[in-house]
């Protein structure tokens, strides 16, 4: 039996057979489930709501479009994963997983009333634009707060970020998927108890970079009101894809497609099995899973319908930034991704013996420097950080620092300052150095050694990814972060017992950060240089302002 209730102009349908919540939306009825939060609170979950037509067949590599209405009841109890090569899968489990039909989102809410007016957080997952899904960062922690949580999927790897550098496949389809999901949230979230005028987009790593990109993309304006970027900004070297057409041709050659012209290439790629295309990613990663982001975002200013109209550095410098509050954070050992993956001694020995061959791929500069200079630059980097020591467990912390400086800290520091100077709204930054009972590095390295606060660790204290409730100290840190972030979602100001100063609007000033070491040590700090800037500035990488200076010189 199905019972219909009209409450505050919201049609809620409840099945008397299983008490499953059913919500009426403009596209049709959606049935969810009832789950329990970390503290035993009932909440409503809707896993796998379609926000776009399936991007399959002739729609592969095409921009996503809104889904059509359906008849009957859509059972939102499935966890969809976009087709990907997931190097984190356990040994013996297929690294290729997921489906192309994957543009679904999950909604979790503690109150299912239209007038509940709860703040909304839209989580954009990380994974180097290559792997992961909206199912990983669970809702059990935040559902103890009065917040609606939405986790979204977007196409990954070649399916989301292939570009032929023309209007046949301009690229950035994964970002376009995110925007379409955000539009769905804006249009529908009130039906799930959310406030469409209080939406915070939140992401980690590639998700964090995506969040900041939405500040730079005009089509995203008005779809959110605050943002949080953990461990990723738009200037990080793995965000913007170098040589997109070269990558597309390489992919075509790997799966037996003609690369004579882009029309033939795309026509052929659309007919190849999806798993064959994903398996070909191994051709782009010569050592382990490095470089971890061979497909990424493109500056498509040449397109008839550009999305990212200029390089992020230019947009930030020219203050073409959506003016709403933003938080950017980093952990104390960001370089543990990807360094955790080669923590075993045999990988460290191989890295040491083949340093000049491997390190350009790990550090993402293989395509941003003259190949005649690669060996020289690689040796300079090793000498600066490791001196005359070998890569080993003894020098591992220095290796982690090296990787963290290059892949994260250098551009986070620069990008946060530029972003703050570009807007009137407050920009806040925090550093997370709490090492809890568990860490993301445990799962990647296969070791329980205390390596410090890893890339992705702070995310777990807000969203449920691994256990952060096993010790009183972890619970206290989690409570602080959740209280801080939910206050920010509501007011644009992070709640803290400590006065949290925003990042200065003056580029010359040091970086103001709230340093979270543990529940008893949370304090403001001013950091002048978190990434050995002088050293990295001397290296001739054609990136960000150096790339733009080179392009301007070439034009002259």
Q: Is the peptide bond before 534 cis (omega within 30 degrees of 0)?
A: no
**Mean pLDDT, rounded, for 529-535:** 96
- Cα separation, 285 vs 87, in Å, equals 11
Q: Dmax of the chain from CA atoms?
A: 75
Three-class SS string for 18-52? CCCEEEEECCEEEECEEEECCCCCEEEEEEEEECC
- The answer on 341 and 226 residing in a single domain is no
Residue 420 banded pLDDT, cuts 50, 70, 90? very high
Asked, for residue 177, whether it belongs to a domain, the answer is yes
Q: Is the pLDDT of residue 5 over 60?
A: no
Q: How many domains does the chain have?
A: 2
Asked, for residue 30, whether it belongs to a domain, the answer is no
10 Å CB burial of residue 532 (0-12, 13-18, 19+) is: middle
* Helix (H) or strand (E) segment spanning residue 160: helix 157-161
- The answer on 92 and 182 residing in a single domain is yes
Instruction: Note whether 91 and 205 are within 8 A (CB).
Output: no
- Cα separation, 475 vs 530, in Å, equals 28
**Short-list 213, 181, 217, CA closest to 199:** 181
Q: What is the CA radius of gyration of the chain?
A: 23
Active-site entry in 225, 311, 455, 464: 455
- The answer on 367 and 301 residing in a single domain is no
**Mean pLDDT, rounded, for 147-158:** 99
pLDDT-wise least confident of 82-86, 157-161, 366-370, 419-423: 366-370
Could you read off the pLDDT of 488-498 as tens digits, one per residue? 999 999 976 78
Backbone angles phi, psi at 538, to 5 degrees: -80, -15
* Helix (H) or strand (E) segment spanning residue 551: helix 544-555
Q: Is the pLDDT of residue 301 over 90?
A: yes
**pLDDT, position 53:** 98
User: Could you tell me where the DSSP H helices lie in 258-373?
Assistant: 262-269, 274-279, 312-317, 336-339, 345-353, 355-362
Look up 225 and say whether it is catalytic: no
Asked, for residue 320, whether it belongs to a domain, the answer is no
> Which pair of structure tokens corresponds to residue 49?
């709501």
- The answer on 370 and 251 residing in a single domain is no
Look up 543 and say whether it is catalytic: no
- The answer on 344 and 292 residing in a single domain is no
Last residue of a domain, one of 308, 340, 356: 308
Sign of the four-CA dihedral 142, 104, 233, 420: negative
**pLDDT, position 86:** 86
Pairing of strands 10-15, 21-25: antiparallel
Instruction: Note whether 159 and 83 are within 8 A (CB).
Output: yes
Q: Is the pLDDT of residue 127 over 70?
A: yes
Instruction: Note whether 436 and 451 are within 8 A (CB).
Output: no
**Mean pLDDT, rounded, for 246-266:** 96
Could you read off the pLDDT of 436-482 as tens digits, one per residue? 999 999 999 999 999 999 999 999 999 988 877 789 999 999 999 99
Active-site entry in 45, 205, 420, 454: 205
3-state secondary structure of 1: coil
- The answer on 297 and 351 residing in a single domain is no
Alpha carbon separation from 429 to 23, 145, 178, 465, 510 (Å, rounded): 38, 23, 24, 22, 12
Mean pLDDT of the chain: 94
Look up 392 and say whether it is catalytic: no
Could you read off the pLDDT of 313-371 as tens digits, one per residue? 999 999 999 999 999 999 999 999 999 999 999 999 999 999 999 999 999 999 889 99
3-state secondary structure of 326: strand
3-state secondary structure of 346: helix
Asked, for residue 21, whether it belongs to a domain, the answer is no
**pLDDT, position 347:** 98
10 Å CB burial of residue 234 (0-12, 13-18, 19+) is: buried
**Mean pLDDT, rounded, for 206-231:** 99
Asked, for residue 28, whether it belongs to a domain, the answer is no
Instruction: Note whether 455 and 334 are within 8 A (CB).
Output: yes
Last residue of a domain, one of 260, 280, 308: 308
**pLDDT, position 4:** 40
- The answer on 190 and 123 residing in a single domain is yes
Q: Is the pLDDT of residue 16 over 50?
A: no
Active-site entry in 31, 212, 242, 334: 334
Supply the range of the domain harboring residue 52. Answer: 43-308
- Cα separation, 236 vs 404, in Å, equals 11
Exposure on the CB side of residue 462, measured as CA atoms within 13 A: 23
- Cα separation, 432 vs 500, in Å, equals 14
Last residue of a domain, one of 244, 274, 308: 308
**Mean pLDDT, rounded, for 85-110:** 89
- The answer on 379 and 423 residing in a single domain is yes
- The answer on 256 and 335 residing in a single domain is no
Instruction: Note whether 103 and 51 are within 8 A (CB).
Output: yes
Asked, for residue 5, whether it belongs to a domain, the answer is no
**pLDDT, position 2:** 45
- The answer on 360 and 279 residing in a single domain is no
- Cα separation, 439 vs 283, in Å, equals 30
Q: Is the pLDDT of residue 114 over 50?
A: yes
- Cα separation, 245 vs 56, in Å, equals 22
- Cα angle for residues 111, 113, 114 (degrees, 5° grid): 135
Q: Is the pLDDT of residue 505 over 60?
A: yes
Q: Is the pLDDT of residue 132 over 80?
A: yes
**pLDDT, position 90:** 66
- The answer on 523 and 480 residing in a single domain is yes
Instruction: Note whether 147 and 119 are within 8 A (CB).
Output: yes
Three-class SS string for 432-467? ECCCCCCCHHHHHHCCCCCCCCECCCHHHHCCECCC
Could you read off the pLDDT of 363-417 as tens digits, one per residue? 999 988 999 999 999 999 999 999 989 999 999 999 999 999 999 999 999 999 9
**Mean pLDDT, rounded, for 514-536:** 96
Instruction: Note whether 400 and 333 are within 8 A (CB).
Output: yes
Asked, for residue 29, whether it belongs to a domain, the answer is no
**pLDDT, position 11:** 47
Asked, for residue 319, whether it belongs to a domain, the answer is no
Q: Which residues of 509-526 are buried (b: 16+ CB within 10 A; e: fewer)?
A: ebbbbbbbbebeebeeee
**pLDDT, position 3:** 42
CATH number of the domain within which 296 lies: 3.40.50.1820
**pLDDT, position 88:** 76
Dihedral angle of Cα 38, 39, 44, 45, to the nearest 10 degrees: 0
- Cα separation, 84 vs 170, in Å, equals 21
- The answer on 352 and 242 residing in a single domain is no
């Amino acid at each position: 039996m199905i019972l219909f209730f009209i409450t505050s102009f919201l049609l809620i349908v409840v099945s008397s057979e299983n008490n499953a919540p059913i919500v009426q939306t403009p596209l049709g009825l959606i049935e969810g489930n009832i789950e329990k939060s970390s503290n035993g609170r009932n909440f409503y979950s809707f896993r796998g709501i379609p926000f776009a037509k399936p991007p399959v067949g002739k729609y592969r590599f095409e921009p996503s479009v809104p889904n059509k209405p359906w008849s009957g009841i859509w059972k939102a109890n499935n966890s969809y994963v976009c087709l990907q090569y997931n190097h984190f899968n356990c040994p013996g489990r297929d690294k290729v997983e997921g489906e192309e039909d994957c543009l679904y989102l999950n909604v979790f809410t503690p109150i299912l009333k239209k007038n509940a007016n709860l703040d909304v957080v839209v989580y954009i997952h990380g994974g180097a634009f290559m792997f992961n899904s909206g199912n990983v960062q669970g809702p059990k922690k935040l559902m103890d707060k009065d917040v609606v949580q939405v986790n979204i999927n977007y196409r990954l790897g070649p399916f989301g970020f292939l570009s032929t550098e023309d209007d046949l496949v301009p690229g950035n389809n994964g970002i376009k998927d995110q925007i379409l999901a955000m539009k769905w949230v804006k249009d529908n979230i009130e039906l799930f108890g959310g406030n469409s005028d209080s939406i915070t987009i939140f992401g980690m790593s590639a998700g964090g970079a995506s969040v900041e990109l939405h500040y730079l993309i005009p089509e995203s304006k008005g779809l959110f009101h605050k943002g949080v970027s953990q461990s990723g900004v738009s200037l990080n070297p793995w965000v913007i894809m170098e040589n997109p057409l070269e990558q597309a041709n390489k992919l075509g050659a790997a799966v037996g497609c003609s690369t004579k012209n882009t029309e033939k290439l795309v026509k052929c790629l659309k007919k190849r099995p999806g798993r064959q295309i994903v398996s070909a990613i191994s051709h782009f990663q010569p050592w382990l899973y490095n470089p971890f982001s061979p497909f990424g975002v493109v500056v498509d200013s040449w397109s008839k319908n550009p999305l990212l109209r200029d390089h992020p550095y230019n947009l930030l410098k020219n203050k073409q930034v959506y003016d709403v509050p933003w938080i950017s954070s980093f952990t104390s050992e960001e370089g543990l991704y990807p360094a955790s993956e080669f923590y075993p001694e045999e990988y460290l020995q191989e890295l040491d013996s083949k340093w000049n061959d491997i390190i350009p791929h790990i550090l993402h500069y293989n395509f941003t420097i003259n190949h005649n200079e690669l060996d020289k630059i690689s040796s300079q980097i090793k000498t600066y950080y490791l001196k005359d020591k070998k890569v080993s467990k003894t020098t591992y912390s220095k290796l982690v620092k090296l990787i963290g400086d290059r892949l994260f800290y250098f551009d986070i520091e620069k990008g946060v300052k530029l972003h703050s100077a570009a807007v009137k709204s407050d920009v806040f930054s925090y550093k997370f150095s709490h090492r809890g009972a568990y860490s993301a590095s445990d799962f990647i390295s296969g070791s329980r050694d205390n390596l410090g606060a890893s890339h992705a660790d702070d995310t777990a204290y807000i969203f449920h990814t691994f256990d952060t409730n096993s010790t009183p100290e972890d619970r206290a840190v989690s409570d602080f972060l959740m209280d801080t972030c939910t206050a920010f979602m509501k007011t644009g100001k992070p709640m803290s017992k400590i006065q949290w100063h925003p990042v200065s609007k003056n580029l010359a000033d040091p970086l103001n950060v709230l340093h979270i070491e543990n529940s008893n040590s949370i304090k403001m700090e001013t950091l002048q240089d978190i990434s050995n800037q002088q050293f990295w500035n001397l290296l001739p990488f054609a990136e960000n302002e150096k790339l733009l200076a080179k392009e301007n010189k070439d034009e002259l």
